[in-house]
Amino acid sequence: MGGRWKLGLGAAIVLGAAVGVAAQTADSEPTAQGDLALTIYNDGQALVQDVRRLAIADGRSRIDFPDVSAQIQPETLSFSADGAGILEQNFDFDLLTPAKLMEKAIGQTVTLVRTNPATGGETVERATVLSTAGGVVVRIGDRIEVLRDDGLPTRVVFDRVPPNLRARPTLSVSIDSDHAGVRPAAIRYLTGGLGWSADYVALYDEAKGTTDMQGWVTLTNQTGTTFHDARTVLVAGSPSSSGNSRNPPPPPPRGGFRPGTETAPRERLGDYYLYPLPGRTTVANAQTKQVSFLDVQGVPARKVYARTIGWLTSDHAPVNATTAVGFSTAREQGLGDALPAGTVRFYQRDREGTPQFIGESRIGHTPMGSALTLVTGDAFDVFVQAEVVSREKITSQQWEATSRYRVIADDGRAASVTSERPVEFWRTTMRYTLTNAKAVPVEVELSQSGLDRGWWSRDFRVSSEDVPGEQINADRRKYLVTVPANGRREVRVTYDTRY
């Protein structure tokens, strides 16, 4: 005695004749499902619509719908059949498993069959199941025994299947019909455990400045039920539901994202795009299925090196620039489609012509016409070092002398304050040192951030800059710096600020 007993390891389960009949039925009729339609959402839930031809009796009767999802949300069920109305519904999700069989047998008598490994002889004993908490405890005659998981051949034979255990997830409805006859009966319900995601394979050609992109839909089914020969539609978007909090949308991609304004040539449902799968498909339980939905070649793309510098950053050592691939989903750029949220994995051919993985990046739902810059990793050969060369207070006269360099004027908004903040003026000179060990020149997008400290600080000036900058917004100024092959470039910028 003693030890922990586990079903399926040191023991086998044998059922009586009733289960043999059920197995034969399952072989001859693998599914009771009818004409199936699946609408699958990004958030791990799906709408199942199942139309079956059933013989419905006159008056009140009960109809069983086997092979529904084990994760059905019963409160979302709707039933329709000509001349019939639903009175009550029950979902039997206690499935026939070895553990459930043993649990339901508590207080009942089963047969234990033990085989002697040396002689092959069998010992048969009747036992009463007392508990299954942390192991199976049985009474055999006058002794109490714990079934052990010691590898010895042991079978537990049950006299019957408990009536409240189902071999398949089953929905039963009580209905009232005004006539008898065979007719279509439809059920519609939401279920968890059925979802999809998008994955993209992008083959980048740096010499040609193009990328080929293929999009794959990955279906996952963890509902406990196989859906046979179903018409399947995927919905790209985020319908509001209580489960959405478990699947927050992905953050904006690292690098850059400018949403597009073009309408994709796809069917829409409200504010969502539909991606129907071609033909009918079977989505098996515990299966991952992949289907191609996008295949385009020669989309213009460019390599981007970049680094964003925080205010008053002074690096102790050079920092790798990020490397990214920029492209557009616009129609005129060749891609011309809306992209569902997913992961874009980039590949590039080596000298032998073999595609090699170079990095990946997540994207959110992306409208057609969007501009994307997706970071693939850190550049091996391109570095940027930012340093504060000098920082000193300046007088109001010096401040006024640089007014011609004002890049953001006061907006004239009035503010009520009880005390004025002391006005201080600072002149800060930054030095950015860029190095390039590649055999070709590279262009680096260098961004200085941290310029916006609030409404009181927006009157800052750039009194000098070696490279003309572009003010992206109140907080960020961008410089495009060309670094020569196997060389270095130093850029200095002086900012006059109130902070």
Domains and CATH numbers, the chain: 31-95+166-192 (2.60.40), 96-157 (2.30.30), 302-338+367-497 (no CATH)
pLDDT tens string 241-279: 655 444 555 555 666 788 999 999 888 888 899 999 988
Vertex 143, ends 139 and 146: CA angle to 5°?
60
How far is 322 from 253, CA to CA, in rounded Å? Answer: 13
What are the Cα distances from residue 488, in Å, to 38, 437, 440?
58, 9, 12
Q: Within 10 A of 426 (CB to CB), how many other CB atoms are there?
A: 15
How far is 26 from 32, CA to CA, in rounded Å? Answer: 9
- Overall average pLDDT of the 14-29 stretch: 35
Instruction: Please report, rounded to a whole number, the percentage of residues in the chain having pLDDT higher than 70.
Output: 83
How far is 219 from 234, CA to CA, in rounded Å? Answer: 9
How far is 13 from 129, CA to CA, in rounded Å? Answer: 14
Q: What is the pLDDT of residue 459?
A: 78
pLDDT tens string 81-91: 999 988 887 76
Q: What is the pLDDT of residue 134?
A: 76
Q: If you count them, how many residues does the chain have? A: 499
Contact 434, 315 (CB under 8 A): no
Q: What is the pLDDT of residue 105?
A: 77
Answer whether residue 27 shows pLDDT above 80: no
Structure tokens at 338: 């809306």
How far is 256 from 372, CA to CA, in rounded Å? Answer: 6
Answer whether residue 25 shows pLDDT above 80: no
Least confident of 177-186, 234-243, 432-441: 234-243
Identify which has the larger pLDDT, 147 or 324: 324
Type of residue found at 406: R
Instruction: Of 96, 159, 93, 163, give the one whose Cα is nearest residue 129.
Output: 159
Type of residue found at 217: V
Answer whether residue 26 shows pLDDT above 50: no
Structure tokens at 67: 């092979």
Considering 217-226, 378-387, 391-400, the range whose residues carry the highest mean pLDDT is 378-387
Instruction: Please report, rounded to a whole number, the percentage of residues in the chain having pLDDT higher than 90.
Output: 51
The alpha carbon of residue 23 and the mean position of all alpha carbons in its chain are separated, in whole angstroms, by 37
How far is 403 from 289, CA to CA, in rounded Å? Answer: 63
- Overall average pLDDT of the 134-143 stretch: 85
- Overall average pLDDT of the 95-117 stretch: 78
How many CA atoms lie less than 13 Å away from 12 in the CB half-sphere?
A: 9
Q: What is the pLDDT of residue 167?
A: 61
- DSSP 8-state class, residue 406: B
pTM of this prediction?
0.71
- Overall average pLDDT of the 131-154 stretch: 80
Answer whether residue 419 shows pLDDT above 50: no
- Overall average pLDDT of the 416-436 stretch: 77
How far is 122 from 450, CA to CA, in rounded Å? Answer: 80
Answer whether residue 487 shows pLDDT above 80: yes
Q: What is the pLDDT of residue 213?
A: 96
Least confident of 114-123, 183-192, 387-396: 114-123
pLDDT tens string 283-307: 999 888 888 889 999 999 999 999 9
**pLDDT-derived band at 411, boundaries 50, 70, 90:** low
Answer whether residue 99 shows pLDDT above 90: no
Least confident of 114-128, 155-169, 331-345, 370-384: 155-169
- Overall average pLDDT of the 129-149 stretch: 83
Contact 286, 221 (CB under 8 A): yes
How many CA atoms lie less than 13 Å away from 56 in the CB half-sphere?
A: 26
- Overall average pLDDT of the 420-428 stretch: 75
Given the structure tokens 């020969």, which residue do they identify? 229
Given the structure tokens 């907006």, which residue do they identify? 411
Q: What is the pLDDT of residue 214?
A: 95
Least confident of 339-353, 393-407, 444-458: 393-407
Least confident of 128-137, 174-183, 404-413: 404-413
Q: What is the pLDDT of residue 271?
A: 87
Q: What is the pLDDT of residue 124?
A: 86
**pLDDT-derived band at 120, boundaries 50, 70, 90:** confident
Q: What is the pLDDT of residue 458?
A: 73
How far is 379 from 321, CA to CA, in rounded Å? Answer: 5
Q: What is the mean pLDDT of the chain?
A: 83
